[in-house]
Amino acid sequence: MENRLKNKKTDSPDVWTAVQHLQKAIAAGGVDPKLLALVHLRASQINGCSACVHASVAGGKKAGDTDERLHTVAAWREAPFYTDAERAALALAEAATRLQDGAPGVTDEIWEEVNAHFTEEQIGAINLEIALTNFFNRINRTIKEPAGRTWG
């Protein structure tokens, strides 16, 4: 796959400053970086963003997660490797990412489960991670960003 955007220097520095502020807000939310990487990975898998799948696996490994957990997150419901809190966050990530016509979105049941495991500040960080992941997934799919590149 070849990137459609030939000159990335046309990117606005204001956009990247805003993204950095969002990433700082997510980090300040008190959520385990391993969980954030799992959320990022699952949303990116759903959206078919190879660049973000690659980046989130690397981020998860850097945060100390295992290959076993990273490789089975696509089947997290059937895999025994995740805590109840992680399962709640993954369900939220899936529901918030799948907003196509007719999808139920984030149900009250999903929201109640998330609230049972996280503080409001943590939920805010998880929601922001999901939104930012979907933002990057859409940009990367549009410009055909290949997996394996580094940003920054």
> Per residue in 95-129, pLDDT tens?
999 988 788 899 999 999 999 999 999 999 999 99
pLDDT class of 6 with cuts at 50, 70, 90: low
Question: Which positions ≥6 away from 98 have C-beta within 8 Å?
Answer: 46, 105
Other Cβ atoms closer than 10 A to 96: 19
Buried b (16+ CB within 10 A) or exposed e, 2-11: eeeeeeeeee
For a pLDDT cut of 70, what percent of the chain falls above it?
90
Cα–Cα distance measured from residue 26 to residue 38, given in angstroms and rounded to the nearest whole number: 14
pLDDT of residue 152: 42
Quickly tell me which residue has 């895999």 as its tokens. 79
